[in-house]
Amino acid sequence: MTEIRANTVLPAHRERVTLHTADGLALVGELARPLHRDPVGTLVCLHPLPTHGGMMDSHVLRKAAWRLPALAGLAVLRFNTRGTRSAAGRSEGEFDAARGERYDVAAALDHAEHHDLPRVWLLGWSFGTDLALRYGCDPAVEGAVLLSPPLKYAGDEDLDVWARSSKPLVAVVPELDDYLRPDEARRRFARVPQAEVVAVAGGRHLWVGEPAVRQVLDEVVARVAPGAAPLPTTWEGPYETWNDLTGGRQ
């Protein structure tokens, strides 16, 4: 039995994917699926602000892809929005301040639909939550989990769309967030009757540290694959270790 650490990569079927947007761009991404069973649900990950270092490899999203196919039976689709670079490569286009990114979200949802990925949920983090709120209330989407939502680009009109949809909306809000703290989040999300605001004591916007990541992933899995929550902290079986110096698994 091995403790799951920050750099533990559990078994999954992983493939690089290219998403094609309606305005003609190619976006780099990765799809991780359970090895020996069909996924019970799907996370489409929307990363933090690329002008401040956000990308598909932002640590919470990367660890979701490393762990959740094996621990929760989930497929995890990550990708770089337009103009964003990570170890997987750079997506075409340029950052467009949550305008042209609507096509990026649509391309990811199209990919999930065309590959018959079941029960699609959005997992947005920071800037990614604005994309989820503005462009993610799609018939193909079952619900959304929002990590550290700043509500910078998304407004009340976007929240009203979600309110009318009755789709689950879960905002996981750090107590010490730099942009939107729990009391204000409760006030803003009150216009969405089905919205749930989860306040995380001592939490910060970037969810640094293994305890913070585990808490976030538990909140996600409790909604998307509740039978797998809370996630185990140990693993029995083969695994790999990520090396940041070489940018690969070993």
C-alpha distances (whole Å) from 157 to each of 19, 58, 170, 191, 192 are 28, 28, 17, 10, 11
Neighbours of 106 (CB within 10 A): 18
In this prediction, residue 1 carries a pLDDT of 87
pLDDT for position 172: 98
What's the pLDDT score for residue 246? Answer: 61
Residue 91 pLDDT > 80: yes
Q: Is pLDDT at 33 greater than 70 in this prediction?
A: yes
Question: Which domains, and CATH codes, for the chain?
Answer: 2-249 (3.40.50.1820)
pLDDT tens column, 115-136: 999 999 999 999 999 999 999 9
Distance from CA of residue 71 to its chain's centroid? 16
Amino acid at 133: L
Average pLDDT, the chain: 97
Write the pLDDT tens digit of every residue in 186-233.
Answer: 999 999 999 999 999 999 999 999 999 999 999 999 999 999 999 999
pLDDT computed for residue 196 by the predictor: 98
What pTM was computed for the model? 0.97
